[in-house]
Structure 1
Amino acid sequence: MFSPGHAGANAYARVGVETSVMGASPHRLIVLLYQGARQAIAQARMHLQAGHVADRGMAVSKAIRIIESGLQQSLNLEVGGEIAERLNALYSYMTRRLFEANMKQSETMLVEVDGLLATLEEAWIGIAPEIARMAAQPAAESMR
């Protein structure tokens, strides 16, 4: 469903989220992308409430870049099937809503996208044990 390698790490670094991503697993990188997008939305909400238009716009743009250049680009639509296609559509929806939220100064829309990201982040974290088990399987098989 997701492209192999560290494409997510490069996208994450490009959008300016400060963290150590080079040693992270592909699964962990997706978690970091969700967290970075949610943090940018939280900043956008804070700037919206404070009336800081330029800062709000920068925070929304950062969230959009993380979703488009990180989460969406990491999808492997050829292998991921229906799940990848649905995630792709959902990420496109989120970016449209963020753009609209910025234009309409809508905290409700920002909260909506944050809620969607939170749900996906929780599900992604929830599959971590299964990912670890799958990663350990080929190593165990190669030792036989």
Structure 2
Amino acid sequence: MYKKGVNAYQSVGGRDQATTADPYQLIQMLMNGALQKLAISKGAMERKDLETKSENLTKALSIVSALQEGLDMTVDSEVVNNMFDLYDYMKRQIIEAMGENKLEAVDNCLLVMRNLKEGWDAIPVEARNQAFAQRDQMAVGG
């Protein structure tokens, strides 16, 4: 996920921050990026600026796809499965907004992403550090 996330963030305008961020921060940056691109898209739709709308919805779709692809689907977890479904819903809403110029679809994505980000931001530092330590330990085979 980390390399995919860095690439996704950099492809939509991220700079050096992505290469120095830990996985938790990278996901925060991706979520922020998705919120930003969705908000820009919504404004563009309201102004009937189709080029800006298309460009930013495409970037938002790329970010949401990277977030979804980064989920560890080997873990049998209700949380992981729910996140996968939410990202899938958002991708379908973005595609609908692209094709049908539906503001409501963008609003739906903004609501879901804000809620996901609030939950992500609320993860205590100790829990993050413990999760990283466990992941690193498993990667080494310990």
CA contact (8 A) 2:93 2:105 kept: yes
Take 2:69 and 2:13, find their aligned partners in 1: how far apart are those partners? 16
**Aligned twin of 1:37:** 34
Q: Which has the higher contact order (CA 8 A, sep 6+)?
A: 1
Alpha-carbon spacing, 1:111–1:136, altered in 2? closer, same or farther (3 Å): closer
> Match of 2:107?
111
| 8 A contact 1:6–1:26 mirrored in 2 | no
Deviations 1:14-52 (A, max 9, x none): 333346111111001111010000100011011111111
Cα 1:137/1:113, change in 2 over 3 Å: closer
Q: Does 1:95 align with 2:91?
A: yes
Contact 1:27/1:128 (CA < 8 Å) preserved in 2?
A: no
TM alignment of 1:3-14, pairs within 5 A = 3=1, 5-14=2-11
Query: How many equivalent residue pairs?
Result: 134
Q: Which runs of 5+ in 2 are unaligned?
A: 135-142
Q: Which runs of 5+ in 1 are unaligned?
A: 139-144
- Over the aligned positions, Cα root-mean-square deviation in angstroms equals 2.0
